[in-house]
Structure 1
Amino acid sequence: MMAKIAVLLAAYNGEPFIVSQVNSILSQLDVDVDIYIRDDGSTDKTASIIERFSVLHNVKIIKDGESTKSAAGNFFKILSQIDFENYEYFAFADQDDIWDPEKLKRAVSKIIDGSHEGYSADLIAYSNAKQHAQYLKKSYSAKEFDYLFQGASAGCTYVMTSKLAQVVSRTTASLQSSDFVGRSHDWLVYAIARAHQMSWCFDAYAPIFYRQHASNVYGAMTTMGSLLEKIKLVRGGWYRSNVLWIAANCGADQKEQDILELVRRGRFFDRVRLISRVSSFRRKTSECYVLALFFFFGIF
């Protein structure tokens, strides 16, 4: 029997891309897929384009008239309106990517084989404008507290069991749309899973062509310019703010509080103690070194 999967597609001004993405989701092999699409107040023709898909039995258009003003808010709004009993698995989809036909089939297989509740994968970032593609490896081994400092991968690679999706829904139920502005849904979902001691699969496989363009919310952060932009975000307090916000909303308990208190205070010796534990904060060794420098110089 094929796995029953709900795919959550958050749409906003996706006119140039959304048709090819929806078609790639509808072309998934050996799984039973329903797509839930919610437009977050597009000013282009996205709303009318997705309306054409509503004639298909497995495409559901969610209309509530509210603009959440963020991709994260849009995703969680969709999740709150789905009947969990109808699905075994839930997946996030960006509006502008292309999926490998076996993306969901492979994810379900990995989840079952490893008794996992959450799944993420590597991806291929590409730009038509620049005629450039790059493999993005995200499948590094989990560290003890990595979920406080980073997500698992791009959210478009995520697949959750119904059990995890329900925990995510309950954990975020009290948050308002405005709470998600400037936040990362993928990071929060991974943190919720780990804070609730749920197993996560990091798949060394790239099932998504991750399209890069001017409208990406975050993008792949692979060029020098984008890396400098990321450093600017860190210096401006965005990263520190998100670490504390994630911890406050993922269900973190006492074992995380010692680390978070050091982050909150941020005094010199607090930062030294954070540096001594930095290898447990990021999965990639080089990123641990960078984070240690941020702590040392007080940039974080």
Structure 2
Amino acid sequence: MHTNAESRTPPRVAVLLATHMGRTYLDEQLDSILDQAGADLHVFVSDDGSTDGTLELLAERQAADARITILPPETFGAPAPNFFRLLTTIPIEEYDYVGFADQDDVWMTGKLERHIRLLAEGHADGISSNVTAFSEDGTRILIKKDYPQRLADHLFETPGPGSTFLLTRRFARLVAEQLDNPDSPAREAFAHDWLIYALARAAGLRWIIDGESTVDYRQHVANAVGANTGLSQAWKRLRLTSNRWHRGQVQLTVEACIHVASPEELPRLQWLHEILVEFTYRDALRLVRRWRQLRRRPRDRAALATLITARLW
């Protein structure tokens, strides 16, 4: 006789993999996903104009494993619209969870099983985690993302790389609906992971940032963003923040979040939206008074407050 635990059907998980010129590291990433235990998973792949043999490799993997589906290739020019295409194309209702994967990372053994368990135990709709950045020279650095969440950090930053994300079906459906909402600027977002996190928090859903590193985050010259380590990455992010690009993305995120806002969150979003429309010196002072709520890591909060005060944000 089988016990209930033995006969229970494993949760169905759709993993969304966006590729672009990724043949070099793709095999290792696919192996780390397909070897995950504790779930009935299926990998959906969308390619963005690869000419390096990525599609040929994917076709070989698909022929050998029925758990891989390749969508017709298109040209997107950036990771976010590629992931948005995946999220609005796959049959979400057939899956219990939706995850995201980059083409060049490596999932740790047990990542999926752990995050399914944490979502259930925490009654949460989204989860991300710390990652370990690694380079070809053997350097490994823990990238800590699990600083305590603040009142408005979701409007100013991601909760970690999207390759660590796992969403419940109901939340994945909400995101897909907003991407298809003609009145929302959601599809214009630069970073899919930032947008998704913001929508969850704005809707009053619980998000967990796991303190365990569940992905080896490969660093190389072709990274779309890369880990925030070293002076070069810090300088790159400072330039993006100080040339008003970051402020524009915050404004877009706020506008997208208003469409899903919970009654508790809506007044805060409307207040911030009002401030950002013209962003006068008085508006900057109003915002900087709340600097402790804008980022999770203390030094990031201080840096952002300095830029706002100096009118460089």
TM range (shorter): over 0.9
For residue 169 of structure 1, the aligned residue among 176, 191, 208 is: 176
Q: What is the distance in 2 between the residues matched to 1:92 and 1:298?
A: 36
Deviates more, 1:250-259 or 1:231-240: 250-259
CA displacement 1:27-85 (0-9 Å, x = unmatched)? 1012111000111111211111111111211111111x431211111111011111122
Give the TM-score normalised by structure 2: 0.91
Quick one: which of 276, 288, 294 aligns to 2:301? 288
| Residue 73 (structure 1) aligned with residue 93 (structure 2) | no
DSSP 3-state at the match of 2:23: coil
Distance (Å, rounded) in 1 between the aligned partners of 2:89 and 2:311: 42
Paired position in structure 2 for 1:58: 67
Q: Is the CA contact 1:70–1:180 (under 8 Å) kept in the aligned structure 2?
A: no
Number of the residue aligned with 2:199 = 192
Are the aligned partners of 2:179 and 2:186 in contact in 1 as well (CA < 8 Å)?
Answer: no
Measure the CA separation in 1 of the matches of 2:186 and 2:13.
27
Helix, strand or coil: the match of 2:269? Answer: helix
- CA RMSD between the two structures: 1.7
* Alignment-derived partner of residue 18 in structure 2: 10
Distance 2:48 2:228 in 1: 25
Give the deviation of 1:144 after TM superposition. 1.1
Give 1:105-184 correspondences, 5 Å limit: 105-128=113-136, 130-174=137-181, 180=187, 183-184=190-191
Which residue identity does 1:291 align to in structure 2? L
Equivalent residues in 2 for 1:83-98, closer than 5 Å: 83-98=91-106
Matches of 1:97 and 1:243 in 2, distance apart?
27
Scaled by the length of structure 1, the TM-score of the pair is 0.95
**For the structure 1 residues 18 and 180, does the alpha-carbon distance in structure 2 shift closer, same or farther, using more than 3 Å as the test?**
farther
Give CA-to-partner distance per residue, 1:112-149, whole Å, 9 cap, x none. 00100000100000111x43110011012211111111
Count of aligned pairs:
297
* Deviates further, 261-270 or 69-78: 261-270
Q: CA deviation at 1:264?
A: 2.9
Aligned residues of 1:117 and 1:164 also touching (Cα < 8 A): yes
Is the alpha carbon distance of 1:182 and 1:245 closer, same or farther for their aligned partners in structure 2, counting shifts above 3 Å? closer
Q: Deviation string for 1:170-196 (max 9, x for gaps)? A: 0111369x9857700000000111111
Matched, 1:45 2:91: no
Displacement of 1:269: 2.1
Structure 1: state its 5+ residue gaps. Answer: none
SS of alignment partner, residue 33 of structure 1: strand
Q: What SS does structure 2 have at the residue aligned with 1:204?
A: strand
Would you say 1:21 and 2:34 are equivalent positions?
no
- How far 1:255 sits from its partner (Å)? 2.6
How many Å separate the matches in 2 of 1:282 and 1:264? Answer: 21
Following superposition, the deviation at residue 168 of structure 1 comes to 0.3
Q: Which moved more, 1:141-150 or 1:102-111?
A: 141-150
Secondary structure in 2 matching 1:205:
strand
- The answer to whether 1:103 aligns with 2:116 is no
Q: Look up the SS of the partner of 1:53 in the other structure.
A: helix
Is 1:223 the equivalent of 2:230? yes
Q: Where do 1:240-279 residues align within 5 Å?
A: 240-250=247-257, 251=259, 252=261, 253-279=266-292
Maintained 8 Å contact 1:6/1:35: yes
- CA spacing shift, 1:96–1:291, aligned 2, 3 Å: same
CA distance in 2 between counterparts of 1:275 and 1:255 reads 15
* 1:265 positional shift: 2.4
SS at match of 1:60: strand
State the secondary structure of the residue aligned to 2:213. coil
Aligned partner letter, 1:74: N
Q: Where does structure 2 lack aligned partners over 5 or more consecutive residues?
A: 1-8
Do 2:189 and 2:195's aligned partners in 1 also have CA atoms closer than 8 Å? no
Per the TM alignment, residue 99 of structure 1 is displaced from its structure 2 partner at its CA by: 0.5
Partner of 2:40: 32
Structure 2: distance between partners of 1:92 and 1:180:
17
User: Whole-Å Cα distance in 1 between the matches of residues 226 and 194 of structure 2?
Assistant: 14
Worse overlay, 208-217 or 79-88: 79-88
Q: Does 1:298 align with 2:306?
A: no
Report the Cα distance in structure 2 between the residues aligned to 1:238 and 1:126, rounded to whole angstroms: 28
Question: Structure 1's 125 and 175: CA in aligned 2 closer, same or farther, altered over 3 A?
Answer: farther
